[in-house]
Amino acid sequence: MHRNLLIFCVVVLIVGAIIALSIRSVESQSDMVQRGKYLVETVGACGHCHTPRTGADYNMDMYLAGHPANAGYPRHNFSMMQQGIFILTSPQMSAFSGAFGTSFATNLTPDKETGLGEWTEEMFIGAMRTGLHQGVEGNRPILPPMPVKHYAQMNDEDLKAIWAYLKTIKPVKNEVNPPLNPRGRPY
């Protein structure tokens, strides 16, 4: 009898410890997502380019979904440079054209076909750190005005938090144009 009671107490203790540990890890995961949201919406201001606008306001149905697939985009040319025009932007503020070519803010939602659904954390952190497409050595550089030089200085914890948050947002199907080189051809 005595022995059974002892076994019972040990089992209760172990189960209790497992529950306590898992609650803690759920809490720290949600803290991380909260921090990621804070970084995306305040200091990182990712929506400034990645959430297209309708007029002056963000189109929240397209939250972080990138340049709308069916929207037009401006094209810069050399004579504009001589007039002191450095960069053009679409009315949604999500497509940009300059001497570098034409870039389109990408879809950061977890949609599998058109967003970051198939990306890994390594690809995301790699892209932010190296400024190369998908963080792969030998890939094309990520074009302006994506502020890669600044984001590259974030620490791992912050980049992981941003990634954790991006995985929780609503997936939006929006196929963003691939970037164009200065001659208007795919990069």
CA distance 81 to 128: 29
9: tokens are 């107490």
The answer to whether 127 contacts ligand HEC (rule: CB under 6 A) is yes
Residue with token string 């991380």:
32
The answer to whether 45 contacts ligand HEC (rule: CB under 6 A) is yes
The answer to whether 49 contacts ligand HEC (rule: CB under 6 A) is yes
CA distance 167 to 180: 28
Residue 58 or residue 104: which is nearer to ligand HEC going by CB? 104
The answer to whether 133 contacts ligand HEC (rule: CB under 6 A) is yes
Give the type of residue at 153: Q
72: tokens are 């037009």
Using the rule CB under 6 A, which residue among 33, 62, 105, 164 binds ligand HEC?
Answer: 105
Pick the stretch among 19-27, 55-63, 139-147, 167-175 that binds ligand HEC (CB under 6 A).
139-147
Q: What residues make contact with ligand HEC under the rule CB under 6 A?
A: 40, 44-46, 48-50, 96, 103-106, 108, 124, 127, 133-134, 142-143, 145-147, 151, 162, 179
